[in-house]
Amino acid sequence: MNKYRRKLLQLILDNLDGLMQELDAVRDDEQEAFDNLPEGLQSGERGEAMEEAISNMEDAYSQIEDAISSIEAAME
């Protein structure tokens, strides 16, 4: 791989890292909001939707981690 493409991949890695940090912050906010709900609301429709959103964000975070690993492997 040439220097130019390696530099482009590094820019992509930097962007993905920034996105992971933003996604993590949003997930933390949603988790805190869920934790602050009364128990009755946590087990209700709203709470279940929040749990699903948190789970989806965790999945997205893992997929970004996988993408970063794959890009790093490509750069070797």
Pull the structure tokens for residue 66. 């996988």
- Would you kindly state where each structural domain of the chain is located, as residue ranges? 21-75
Please report, in tens digits, the pLDDT of each residue of the chain (76 residues total).
899 999 999 999 999 999 999 999 999 999 999 999 999 999 999 999 999 999 999 999 999 999 999 999 999 8
CA distance 56 to 63: 11
* Residues in CB range of 64: below 8 A, 6 or more apart: 16, 19, 20, 23
pTM of the model: 0.88
Report yes or no: 53 and 2 within 8 Å, Cβ to Cβ.
Answer: no
